[in-house]
Structure formats: C-alpha cells, structure tokens
Chain A
C-alpha cells in the first residue's frame, strides 16, 4: 500500500514574498493582508520553500534550535496551521518514496551549527490594506470581458 507524506507549499501566485537575511515579508494578493516574520518563523518559511515536507521542516528546526522537542513540534504545527488559515500556504500529499535528497542535505548542513534557543514562531499580520480594499473595491476583468452587455445606463451620462 502506498504511503503518503504531508507537504506544504507557498500559495503562489496569490501570495508574494521577499526574503531579507532572517526576515520575510509576505503579501496575500487575494485579501490585502501582509505579514512579517523573523527568527524561527522565517526559518520554518524557508524550510517550506526548500523542502516542504512536514518531517523535513521539523528536522530542520530541531537541527538548528535547542529546546523541548514536544514544545517545538507543537509550536511548529500551530504555526503551519496559522499559515494555512491565512491562505499563505497549502497542504499537499506526496508518496513517501519521493522524499527529495535536498531535505537530507539541509539537515546535515544545520547539524554542525551552534544551536539557538527555540522561541515560538510569530506571524505579524497587518490588515490596513484589507480595509482600504473594502473601501475601494477593484473588479478585475478577464479576457472574456464583462459578463453581460448592457444598454446605456440612464444614470451615466452616455451617448444614446
């Protein structure tokens, strides 16, 4: 029987992001919310980018940070759920035998580093643009055009 592993990936193209050293800024183009993350949160995000498997992310974090492993697992799961709830990442399933080599390399690379104390990841959320988008809603039109041709609107000063 085929076994599956949980993977996460960034919800592109709806979500755009830029990485600055140990800080990441994300923008959700769907709803106008934007976010900044740093520390362990940025590391988790980068591990989602590099590998994406839940196991790989956990191993990557444990190899970089010291702390109670149960607490790290709990914090990681809560943070991933938070990213899912905000529409920043999506969950995926892959066959177990398709684990990429990159995951192992990431873990090996971090294993030689001096570990930092783990602090729970924090997602800083900004909603002021969402308010603006609600005040000034923009309707984008696709190539099929607007859904229904319409006769001249009496309220619009148009040519008859």
Chain B
C-alpha cells in the first residue's frame, strides 16, 4: 500500500517534533548497548574543511566498509570534535534498532528514500538497504545504522555518510556537490556534468599526471571568502568495460567481485597516497563533453553552462526546504570563477595536459 506524503517545497525547515527527538534518543541508547556487546568503541578522526569529524564505531563490524573511502583525511585523535558520528550494525553487535515510529510502503522500491528533516533533526530511511541515518544538528551528533554491514552496496562504500556530511556542512555554509576535482596545491578545477559526460574519464586520466586528485564524484565546496573545494572520498567508479583503459589504476580496484551489475570501485589512497589532496582553491569550472575528435580543447562559456551542469544533480540530493538556498549558493559559486567546456578528444593523454597548461598559464588568474 502506498501512502501519499505531502510536502511543502521551498519553505523553511519545520519546527522540531518531540516524537522524533524521542526516537533519536532511543536509537542512541540502543547503540550504547551495542557498544557494550562488542567490548567498546573504536574512534577514528578526520579533518574536512578544518572541521574535526569523529567516527565512533561500535566494534569493528563497519570499519572495512566505511573507512577505506575516508582514510586519506585521517588525523590524530582530537580532544574535541565538531561533529561525531556513531556507527553500528545489528549483525555484529547482535543489537536491534528501535522500530521506526511510522509506516512505510509494504513493498520497498529499490533506491527509495524516506526522509524527515526539521530544524533540529534529519532522519533518512533506506528500506532496500536496511539503513537508517540520523543527524541531530543541535548536538552535532549523527548516527548511522545498518542491519548487515556486508550488505552495504558498493556505491555507498564509495561515498559513505554522504547524507550526514551534506546536511551538517550546510549548517556550516558549505555545500556537497556532485563534481570531480583535480589540480595543484595553489589551485585546481571542478569537473561538473551528468553521468556519462566524461567526468570520471577525465579525473582518472589525471591520476597518471602531475595533477592531484580531490574527487571523482562528490566533494565539498565553500565560496567564502574565495571558491575552494575539499575532498570527501578518495574513490572512483568506472563501468567494468572501461577498466582496461586505465591499466595503471588496477592495483587500486576493490575486490567487489561481480561487475555485471555494478561499476568498478577504486580506492586510490591505498596505492597513490601522494596523489590525493585534501583540497585547493577553485580556479575554474570545466564541463567535460565527449566530442569524438582527436584533440582536447577548451571553450569558454557563460556561468549559465556551469550552473546547468552542476545545479540539478546537486539540488535534487537535498531536502525540498533547502533547495532554493542551495540553488542560490551554486549560482553565486559559478559566477565567481570562469566556466569552460572541456571538449574531450580521443587522445586521452592530452586531457591532463590541457588542464595543466590552463592552470600553469595564468589564464585563470
């Protein structure tokens, strides 16, 4: 049975609802019990955009599925963190999560998401993944729960905790965007566009050059005081039939097995730690387009093209109530840097050279 859930687009966030605060507290109490079962917590610390993030794992169960994508951002143990995320699974902790206080469809559609977001709490439920994500914005406390860690899909292992980062970073005037990023410590480019536009081909090609890698798919941007991009994940994804186009990257392939229905997942930090950057100033936005021609070229375009390539894929990842705000944020960002079409040629070696020449030529200053 399907229920129609009304929503109010474009309005400010709802007032907090005590029922959901209570649910958050119940889940938090359960994860405390789970921690006791597995003999305590394992804490990991990360730095993203200067913020210290603490991941508090209940035992070891989730670590192999969450950590590889984030390990390039690891930092020393900190006495205080800006955001704490508690992670647990029911299989290894033998502790169940309190029942969600609502009814959903009897038959979950793969990929379906149920999301509640008020001024204090965000709760996201993925029925098909058996995953619940909670964020208490007032307490800077997130909770990630899944039934069975081994069932976490490859795409969530590629960008773990993205919804929590995305939501919490918005409260810090930053925006998670769907974009790749490569460059040098003094500056780099954002690569934006929909799937299949050549974004991953460009990013992965650059790993064979002197360019540093920040992102293939999702990264964090901040437009104040100057445009900057921050790395979230050291991962990349490719269609299985493209693996042989990048033989030097094969050591970074994950051991996910069957690639008939899945993209190949790479963890680059394992094999290329010196190639991964935590971030750099953004000098331009590049919009890759496959041309079928031999040479790779740049063509300057209006900010509208950058906005068109970046905004829709980002805006539809976030709650309705925040879409207009994100729209304005991205509009501001694309106006602050030049925008170019990166006309991708078939001679793949030219792609990083064109980017390097651009960044070293000073045209971007």
Q: Which residues of A contact B (CB under 8 A)?
A: 12-14, 16, 18, 20-21, 23-25, 27, 29-30, 32, 34, 36, 126, 128-129, 132-133, 135-143, 145-153, 156-160
5 further A-B pairs in the complex, CB-CB below 8 A; given A16-B324, A16-B327: A21-B304, A25-B308, A136-B112, A142-B8, A160-B99
- Which 6 residue pairs spanning A and B have beta carbons closest together? A13-B10, A146-B102, A150-B103, A140-B7, A136-B111, A20-B304
Q: How far is the CB of B101 from chain A (nearest CB, A)?
A: 6
Contact of B118 among A132, A136, A143 (CB under 8 A): A143
The residues in B between 145 and 174 inclusive whose CB is less than 8 angstroms from any CB of A are 147-148
B19 within 8 A of A: yes
**Chain A residues with CB below 8 A from B8, complex form:** 142
Query: What CA separation (Å) do A16 and B319 show in the bound complex?
Result: 14
Q: How far is the CB of B343 from chain A (nearest CB, A)?
A: 19
- For chain B, the count of residues having a C-beta within 8 Å of the partner chain is 55
**Chain B residues with CB below 8 A from A30, complex form:** 9
Scoring B6, B112, B316 by chain A CB atoms within 10 A of each residue's CB, the highest score goes to B316
Let me know if B5 and A152 touch, CB within 8 A: no
Query: What CA separation (Å) do A150 and B106 show in the bound complex?
Result: 11
B246 within 8 A of A: no
Let me know if B99 and A27 touch, CB within 8 A: no
Let me know if A137 and B100 touch, CB within 8 A: no
B307 within 8 A of A: yes
Contacts known (A14-B10, A142-B8); A156 close to B99, Cβ less than 8 A: yes
Let me know if A142 and B6 touch, CB within 8 A: yes
B17 within 8 A of A: yes
Query: What CA separation (Å) do A51 and B327 show in the bound complex?
Result: 24
**Chain A residues with CB below 8 A from B130, complex form:** 156-157
Stretch at the interface among B50-58, B90-98, B216-224: B90-98
Let me know if B320 and A150 touch, CB within 8 A: no
Let me know if B315 and A147 touch, CB within 8 A: no
Let me know if B102 and A148 touch, CB within 8 A: yes
Let me know if A32 and B17 touch, CB within 8 A: no
Query: What CA separation (Å) do A23 and B327 show in the bound complex?
Result: 16
Q: How far is the CB of A153 from chain B (nearest CB, A)?
A: 7
**Chain A residues with CB below 8 A from B327, complex form:** 16, 18, 27
